[in-house]
Structure 1
Amino acid sequence: MEWALGILFGTAVILLIVSFIKTGQAKKVEQREIDAVYVSLMEEMNKLQEQLRVVELDAEITAQEARILGINSKERILLRELLDLYKRGYTLEGMAAQTQLNEKEIEYLLAPYKASKIERRKVANES
């Protein structure tokens, strides 16, 4: 009888240890799955934010250039890049280094966008 109780107690301890090990492994698998979903969601969010920024910049360019019908895609890409750098706070020197243009050209290209930003501030402050 004592041997039977000892064997049952030993078996219970072994089963308890195996249970803890299996639970730990299951938690690790679940954590990996959660991490994979999180990474994929973050990648999708970054792609969407980039697309949204491009659409916003294109909309602003289109609003400013509505009178000019013949703007080609290279000019649009250059304007998009300059406007993006301008909105992120780059200096004219920094933009010139990024785009290989001189500062006067950059200032000329960004002039309509700077003026509209100043006008929006004035309207916002007046109301």
Structure 2
Amino acid sequence: MEWAIAILFGTAVILLIVSFIKAGQSSKVEQREIDTVYVSLMEEVNKLQEQLRIVELDAEITAQEARIIGTNSKERILLREILDLYKRGYTMEGIAAKTKLNEKEIEYLLAPYKASKIERRKMANEG
């Protein structure tokens, strides 16, 4: 009888150890799946943020333009890049270096956007 109890107790201990090992392995698999989903979700969020930034820049360009430019024209893409750099705080020299234009051209292209920003500040201060 003592041998039977000892064998059952030993078997229970072994099964308990095996169950802990299996639980740890399944936990690792689940964690990898969660990490994969998280990474793909963050990539999608970054893509959406980039698209949103482009849409916001396009909206501001469209609001400032008196003439219509095609959405995929080189001029619009250049203006989008310049405006993006300007809004991120680049200096005129930095923007000129990145776009390979001279500073006067950059100033000319950004003039409508600077004026509207100054006007908005004045209105906010007056109100």
Q: What's the TM-score bracket when you normalise by the shorter of the two chains?
A: over 0.9
Q: Percent identity?
A: 85
Q: Which residue of 1 aligns with 2:88?
A: 88
The number of aligned residues is 125
Deviating 4+ runs (over 3 angstroms): none
* 1:62-86 C-alpha deviation (Å, 9 max, x unpaired): 0111x213x3511000000000000
CA distance in 1, matches of 2:43, 2:123: 38
* Pairwise CA distance, 1:45: 0.5
* 1:69-113 C-alpha deviation (Å, 9 max, x unpaired): 3x3511000000000000000011111111000111101100100
**Equivalent runs, 1:108-123 vs 2, <5 Å:** 108-123=108-123
Q: Which residue of 2 aligns with 1:68?
A: 67
Q: CA RMSD for the aligned pairs?
A: 0.9
* Pairwise CA distance, 1:24: 0.6
Q: 5+ unaligned residues in a row in structure 2: which ranges?
A: none
Q: Which residue of 1 aligns with 2:17?
A: 17
Q: TM-score, normalised by structure 2?
A: 0.94
Q: 5+ unaligned residues in a row in structure 1: which ranges?
A: none
Query: In structure 2, the residue corresponding to 1:54 is in which secondary structure?
Result: helix
* Pairwise CA distance, 1:118: 1.0
Q: TM-score, normalised by structure 1?
A: 0.94
Q: Which residue of 2 aligns with 1:38?
A: 38
